[in-house]
Structure 1
Amino acid sequence: MLTKKKKRWDDIPGCSLEAALNVIGGKWKGVFLFHLLDGTMRFNELSRLAQGASPRLIVKQLRELEEDGLVNRKVYAVVPPKVEYSLTEEGHSLHNILHALSEWGDLWVDNHPVEPVTKP
């Protein structure tokens, strides 16, 4: 008997905030979504935003966003391969949330200055 492959969101409890954070949570997902609000981006452009992240992690998070219906992935049959990412209509529905988070982040950073690192 064939079993249906479980989706990542099949085990999310009833809490809507937990469901939302499960979809957009992840170290780079919010960053990718925020920058895709400005339009289509290629993989290398997105990977430059995720400094220090491995290509494997970047691909994983982009694929999860695609699976969750927030990002479109378009592959062009050219050499070298060309892949572009853009937001779906559902992804664009996060516009106000992402901008509010960005504004909150600006205020938080302003109120929590980072101490300069001194070399021994």
Structure 2
Amino acid sequence: MSNQLKPSGMGDPCCEVSPLVTEPLNAPAAAVMAARFKALSDPVRLRLLSAVASHAGGQACVCDITDGLDALGVGQPTISHHLKVLREAGLLTSQRRGSWVYYAVVPEALTELSALLSGVPATAAAAAR
């Protein structure tokens, strides 16, 4: 017999609480998610991702992104660096069209982040869209 106290309602089926996720992240998935959250931990990068996502289809020309973010107080090289970090984290893709680079949000990456934070499995979150 255990001397540990059980929280109120334990063992009572009507009071059982379901886990928020079905299973913990494995090491590779945790590394990917950590890289994505790290990329989003910078306010400039978070605003850049938001700026791209706010354009039609979740994609925008770099010229449109930088024009709208003059208030950030950072130069073009710094913005390019932050866009590169977001791209390397798998949150954005880029495509050169003529002399301009277009960035697009990776919807699956945002769905996975959202699913992890909300406790909804990523497959269920994607199916709900």
What is the DSSP-based 3-state SS (H/G/I as helix, E as strand, rest coil) of the residue aligned with 2:43?
coil
Paired residue type of 2:41: G
Q: State the match for 2:102 in structure 1.
A: 84
TM-score normalised by the chain length of structure 1: 0.54
Shift of residue 70, structure 1, vs aligned partner: 0.5
What is the DSSP-based 3-state SS (H/G/I as helix, E as strand, rest coil) of the residue aligned with 1:28?
helix
Q: State the match for 1:53 in structure 2.
A: 74
Greater share of residues in helix: 2
Shift of residue 23, structure 1, vs aligned partner: 1.9
Question: Which residue of 75, 94, 106 corresponds with 1:73?
Answer: 94
Paired residue type of 2:103: Y
TM-score normalised by the chain length of structure 2: 0.50
Shift of residue 82, structure 1, vs aligned partner: 1.5
User: In 2, distance between residues paired with 1:23 and 1:64?
Assistant: 6
> Where in structure 2 are the equivalents of 1:16-35 lying within 5 Å?
21-35=37-51
Q: Unmatched 5+ residue regions in structure 1?
A: 1-13, 98-120
Q: 1:36 to 1:91 in 2, by over 3 A?
A: farther
